[in-house]
A and B are shown apart, each in its own frame.
Chain A
Amino acid sequence: MSTTDRVLDILVREGGYRELPKPFKVGSIPFDFTHALVAGERANDLVIVIELKGDTFDDGVIRKIMALTRALDVMRSKRPVTAVLTSGQPGTETVQSISRVCRVLPIGAPTGPYATSAVRDWLSVLLPLTQQPSFETLLDWEADLSATTTASMEGEFMEALIDAAPRGKEAVETVLADTITKSVDAAITDEGDEE
């Protein structure tokens, strides 16, 4: 899978983007990029994917993007544009030029085991934030505690402790001390006569 394909895949599947036809038109002017996508419901991003091949000239790329943004301006469009550059590495000046008019993600062609992850990292700014599960649902220490402890440990002592825990360390200590004291007293009272 090429980086371009990965980009496309992530954007469509994870970002809810949809691909525009090739070429797509701004007003009446057609534009042709490797891929062009727009965001789904609650965003109006326009993402263009440009694969930098051997025969691609940086100047041509710059010109094309400039032309697109100019066209959008003319159309009073407020769509934020993001240019995703894949495969080849663009020159620094190219990136600077493009970044004046839109967001640039010079992904290049990451390889290795983290290739997909690297691509996603680059694209994450275009992807929605994941709403984390509320901690309150994560945190049920009583349930977790009973799940961790074995049946043998449950009983009066355990209940007393769980009961005391929210009241703080001292309450827990008191429960422990009382339980031990009970045993001690039992033994020492037995001996009371002999002592």
Chain B
Amino acid sequence: MNGVRLKNLVVENFRSLRGKVVIPLDAQVVLIHGTNGMGKTSVLSALELGLTGKIAHLANEGPRYQSYLTTLDSGGGAISLTTTAPHTEGAAIAGALTFSDDTFLPKPLLDADNARFFAERCYLPQATLGRLLELYDDQKTGTTSPLTLFVKELLGLDPLDALIDGLEHAFNVTRVRKLVPDFRRLEAYKTSLDEERRRKDQAIVEATKAARERLDQLNETLSTLVREGTAPIVTEATNLSQFKTELAATGNADQQLTHLNRTRSELRGLQERWRSLPSQESSRDQADRERADLAAADALANWRSTRGNILEDAINAVRALFSDLPSLEDGYEKARSEAQRRAQAEADRCGRLLAAHVTASAQVEILNATVQRASTRIDELNRDLSGAAKDAKTLANALAGVVPHIDGETCPVCSRNYAELDAGPLSAHVAAKIASLTSEAGRLQSLAAARAEESSRLASAQRDLLAAANGQLSAEDHVELTVRQAKMTNLALRLSELKDAAAEGNMLIANAATARQALVAARRRDELSISLLPEIETMVQAVLQQSSSNFESIDLVLAEALRALEDRLAEAERVASVKIKASSELDTRIRGLAEIATLRSDRDATLARIQALDTAFKEIDATRGNAKKIAEAADKVRSGIVTKVFNTSLNKVWRDLFVRLAPSEQFVPAFRLPIGSGGKVEAVLETLHRSGKASGSPGAMLSQGNLNTAALTLFLALHLSVPVRMPWLILDDPVQSMDDVHIAQFAALLRSLSKGMNRQVVIAVHERALFDYLSLELSPAFPGDSLITVEITRNFDGETVAKPRAFTFEDDRAIAA
């Protein structure tokens, strides 16, 4: 492979190369010179076409350039290229292209991959040089920037990238879930199990706590159930069902309670009966009572025989008149006072009747006188009236009626002439008659009034007389009443005097009755207490275990016994209730313990399941861990490789090349490596100060000339860094914007590349002086070294003429070294 050279290039009617041009290339260095427009770039393009079948930097814009390849009016052309040997085993040694305005038939020497390699690494067209840095430092395109592509391709990191990218899932649970959908299921299952376990744990804790509290409570309950000095205690180890049976067996509480209740009701009955007995004090002196009874009876008899008799007589005297008097049995005083009241009342009645008789007699006398006088007066008046004109008034009225009929002196009645009488006018006569009549009538009227008055008075007196006569007593009655009044008054007086005696009698009777009653009651109670006491004694003995005689009274004994019994009953009730409570608490505890056991076994089952899952998770974690480690290792290896490659070769080569061309430049361009690991390989361009300190990007730090230098050296560095597939380096006038100093350095660099690195260098320059200078600088320096220079010009026909010259090594004898 090394030492394979481009051999020969034949170009016909290609772009500015009119006619057929043969360019020999079989030398270590080929220098092509042509002034601008002569077609030196076309020569290099033809070279590229022969090798690759396309012009890479134009092909990016599409295949349109293919139709403009033919020299104007030439109708079509061809390119053919040969190499000295196959550049690699089995490769072609010739390439060709025929083209016209509408045909393009490439038959490139290199296959596609090598063609690309050549276009990228071996051929630097003028058009590309200016844009190279820009092209390589286009950070906007991210991981697919040409620089990164170069780096990746160069370093062959794809498997590592695949490892890193492929294992990236392991770093993130979310991505694991995405990668393995079942993992999510596993996690969900685990979460639910964890939750279940947590819940059960909590339930156990709560149940245990509750059980402990209940145990404490139970023991507290039991401690109140003191039995034989020490209360039973339940511990965690106690056999609960046995304990419960034992507890139930100790002391038949129900029976005891029933017995106590019965005793209590009996005792209460006794107490009740005892209390119903009459007071105890009166029973003390039965003899006194007997005596008092006797005395009272005697006093009563004594009284009855003396004053009682008198009183009785008096009362009986009254009773003769009033049979409805209360009897003596109802009380002497009552009978006496009633008798007195009645006697008094009778006396009063008699008095009133007698008084009325006197009054009525006086009245009769007065009235008789009045009657007599009135009768007399009426007789007188009657006589007066009989003498007077009876109808004076009527006549007067009739005359008055005639008056208007009097005309002159003629009488209307008799039609006689009154004047005849010569007694005054008729009318006056009538009027006087009327007046006389009228006055007679007045007198008559007053007489009649007086008679009516007397008549009425007479009638009234006669009526009153009749009434007054009624009030008068008959003589017998008058006597009878007078006698009775005296008698009654006397009786009342006597009874009044007997008031004290009656009271005494009453009192005596009461005393006698009281004494008798006390005596009877005492006798009856004695009989009752004699029957109660043995019962009480038995009961008290049973309850208090001592005789009732030890107490002051039966009441105290009963109270004490009842109290003792109440206490005992309360205690028995309490014990019974405590037992019930304890029993139910025991049941609760038994249930609680069973529940806890169930919970525990449930929890254990869950734990077992969780464990199985945990194992799976551990495995997965281990896998993930391994994956991570491998990914990290791969990353580390990748970083290591990148660092190694960049630091040990690429940056070194670039720097070496750059300082050769610009030894005085303080800033040297370099690839900056990704800092740290984990990131993608993403090389960017920067500059380093000579001191090694990092600085800005090349565009910012370098002059235009040195920027070109940087681009050129970058291309060369990349070229030198890749494995040599074909030892060719084709440069199209790379020195156009270099100053003299750089050109001299560049010449030396080309020499190093061709002679030191065995690259076949094909370079086109447009400047004559540079051409000469390079011819000199690149002239063969050792045996086998060779140089071909080609000058491209045109003849008078406008056809391109290539004038090649070949140089071989000649020993330099100028210096005697």
Contact = CB atoms under 8 A, between A and B. Distances in A.
Contact of A194 (B165, B609, B617): B609
Interface residues of B, number: 89
B623 interface: yes
A71 B664 CA distance: 30
A129 B748 contact: no
Contacts, number: 248
Contacts of A131: 757
Nearest to A195: B189
Given A129-B756, A186-B616, A188-B185, A135 B162 contact: no
A129 B812 contact: no
A13 interface: no
Contacts of A56: none
Given A79-B814, A132-B653, A42 B755 contact: yes
Nearest to B656: A124
Given A164-B166, A173-B179, A184-B186, 6 more contacts: A42-B781, A42-B785, A80-B747, A122-B663, A128-B752, A172-B162
B690 interface: yes
Closest 5 CB pairs of A and B: A172-B166, A187-B616, A77-B814, A75-B814, A165-B159
Contacts of B644: 138
A124 B663 contact: yes
Contact of B629 (A42, A134, A149): A149
A101 B340 CA distance: 194
A133 B649 CA distance: 8
Interface string A146-179: 0011100100011001101111111111011101
A26 B663 CA distance: 30
Interface in B613-662: 613, 615-617, 619-620, 623-624, 626-627, 629-630, 633-634, 636-638, 640-641, 644-645, 648-649, 652-653, 656-657, 659-661
Interface in A82-97: 82
Nearest to B741: A99
Nearest to A77: B814
Interface in B148-200: 154-163, 165-167, 169-170, 176, 179-180, 182-183, 185-186, 189
Interface residues of A, number: 86
Contact of B781 (A20, A43, A149, A170): A43
A61 interface: no
Interface in A34-54: 38-39, 41-46
A145 B160 CA distance: 9
Nearest to A132: B649
Contacts of A153: 626, 629-630, 633
Interface of B: 154-163, 165-167, 169-170, 176, 179-180, 182-183, 185-186, 189, 609, 612-613, 615-617, 619-620, 623-624, 626-627, 629-630, 633-634, 636-638, 640-641, 644-645, 648-649, 652-653, 656-657, 659-661, 663-664, 690-691, 720-723, 740-741, 744-745, 747-749, 751-753, 755-757, 776-777, 779, 781-782, 785, 810, 812-817
A32 B749 CA distance: 28
Contact of A176 (B169, B619, B745, B777): B169
Contacts of A43: 751, 755, 781-782
5 contacts: A161-B627, A165-B166, A167-B162, A176-B166, A188-B189
With most chain B CB atoms within 10 A of its CB, the pick from A20, A100, A129, A139 is: A129
Contacts of B640: 144, 148
A20 B637 CA distance: 50
Contacts of B182: 181, 184-185, 188
Contacts of A100: 740
A122 B658 CA distance: 11
Interface of A: 18, 20, 24-27, 38-39, 41-46, 71-72, 75-80, 82, 99-100, 102-105, 114, 117-118, 121-122, 124-136, 138-139, 141, 144-145, 148-150, 153, 157-158, 161-162, 164-173, 175-177, 179-181, 183-188, 190-191, 194-195
A188 B186 contact: yes
